[in-house]
Amino acid sequence: MDDERFEVRRGPELERHDPEVDGPYWTAGRIGLTALVLSIVLFWAWAFSGLVNFPWAPSEVNVDEMGDQVLVTRADAACEVAQDRIDVLPRANTVGSPAERADLVVLGNEIIVELLRELRTLTADNADDQFSYDEWLDDWDIYLSDRERHVERLRTEGDVRFRLTDVGTQHLTNGIDGFARVNDMDNCEVPRDL
């Protein structure tokens, strides 16, 4: 069924590379380009493999993580006792008047004062942990001041919202709770009684 109206065209014949005529297939440019592409691929495979520790990269160790596990265990146990005592109190938002809420917050504050007094008796076995621990306790002091200020506002202004001090770009409780979580001291997060 050859139709004269249609001409069958065939593509060019595949020519074989003839090094004597065309020169070598692997020229310096091709070798260099192949080496460059291969080195880029290998570099990124290595960089994302986790086998590399760049000195300028952020450390995988959290600066808040304490090595003194005795301190961590003792602090968490003290916090657990305090949290259990606070948990049996009615939540401040479940009572009717601002004066009643203020009275409940005062009871919680008294428990926190006792807790902080006990936590301050604990010491770390190294200076770095002690520094972090002291900074964390200082944040707790600010949190307690916020709670005491809230009691005053409930008594003088009536039905008001609890205001937290901002530290840097975050709420104070984020720092307190973050430090507690990093060190597996979940009982040392701020109480949820307000």
* pLDDT for position 172: 86
Q: How wide is the angle at C-alpha 65 spanned by C-alphas 64 and 67, nearest 5°? A: 135
- pLDDT tens, residue order, the chain (194 aa): 555 666 655 556 656 666 666 667 778 888 899 999 999 988 887 777 766 666 655 556 677 888 899 999 999 999 999 999 999 998 877 888 999 999 999 999 999 999 999 999 999 999 999 999 999 999 999 999 999 999 999 999 998 999 988 877 778 899 999 999 999 999 999 998 88
50 φ/ψ sector (left φ>0, alpha ψ -120 to 50, else beta): left
**C-alpha distance across the termini of the chain, in Å:** 92
The gap from C-alpha 120 to its chain's centroid, in whole angstroms, comes to 26
* pLDDT for position 121: 96
* pLDDT for position 46: 75
pTM of the model: 0.68
* pLDDT for position 58: 55
Q: How many CB atoms lie within 10 A of CB 193?
A: 20
Q: How far apart are CA 194 and CA 102, in angstroms?
A: 10
**Dihedral in degrees, nearest 10, Cα atoms 68, 167, 112, 186:** -50
* pLDDT for position 72: 94
Rg (CA), the chain: 34
| Amino acid code (one letter) for 176 | I
CB 109 within 8 A of CB 144: yes
Adjacent-strand bridge partners of 166? 171
Q: How far apart are CA 104 and CA 97, in angstroms?
A: 11
* pLDDT for position 62: 72
CB 110 within 8 A of CB 101: no
Q: How far apart are CA 136 and CA 64, in angstroms?
A: 9
* pLDDT for position 65: 87
